[in-house]
A = this chain, B = another copy of it.
C-alpha cells in the first residue's frame, strides 16, 4: 500500500476497473474489489450498493448538473446557449481520475451487455433531464428534444476525445467544440 492514500471511494473505483479489465466483470466479486483497494467489504457497501454501481460513480450527478446549468443560463439565451451552459456546469464534476480511467472503463462497458444497457439508460436519462430543463425555459417541445439530443451527443463526443488524449484540451473546451460542430452540421442539414 503506497503512503499516499486517495479517498476510499476513489480507491474502490480504481480497484474495480483494474479487476474488471484484468479478469472480467462477471468473474470479479465485491470481496476482491475491497481486498485490492485495501478496504473491507463493509466499507465497499457504505459507498456502493453493488459492483455495477462502481462504474457509474459520480454519474448520477450528471443529469442534475446538466439541468441546473440549463436552468441557470441567462434569460435571453438561445436553446443552444442554454445547452452550452449545461455542458459548462457538468464539466465541473469531471476529475483527472475520470480522464485516466476513461479508456479502460469504456473497454469494460463495451465488453458486457448488462453494462452497456446501464450506460444506454444513463444516456437516455441525460437527454430527458436536459430536455425537461429546456422545456422549463419555455423552449417548444420539438426544439427542446433536438437541442437536448445535440447536447448529449456533444457530452459523449467530448468525453471520448478528452479521455483519448490525456494531454489535450480541457473537457470544457472539447465540449464547446463538439457542440459547435453539431450546430454547424444541424444548420447544414437538408
Contacts and interface: CB of A to CB of B under 8 A. Distances in A.
A120 to B, nearest CB: 4
Nearest to A122: B120
A118 to B, nearest CB: 6
Given A183-B189, A186-B187, A189-B80, A146 B142 contact: no
Q: How many copies does the complex hold?
A: 2
Interface of A: 78-80, 116-121, 123-125, 140, 142-143, 145-147, 149-150, 153, 157, 181-183, 185-190
A124 B147 CA distance: 17
A142 B182 contact: yes
Given A117-B117, A120-B121, A143 B190 contact: no
Contact of A146 (B116, B121, B143, B150): B150
Which residue, of A78, A150, A181, A185, has the highest number of chain B Cβ atoms within 10 A? A185
21 contacts: A78-B190, A80-B190, A117-B117, A117-B118, A117-B121, A120-B121, A120-B124, A123-B124, A124-B124, A140-B185, A142-B185, A143-B188, A145-B153, A145-B157, A145-B182, A146-B182, A146-B186, A149-B149, A150-B189, A183-B189, A183-B190
B149 A189 contact: no
A189 B183 CA distance: 7
Contacts of A80: 189-190
Given A124-B123, A182-B142, A150 B149 contact: yes
Nearest to A152: B149
B146 A185 contact: yes
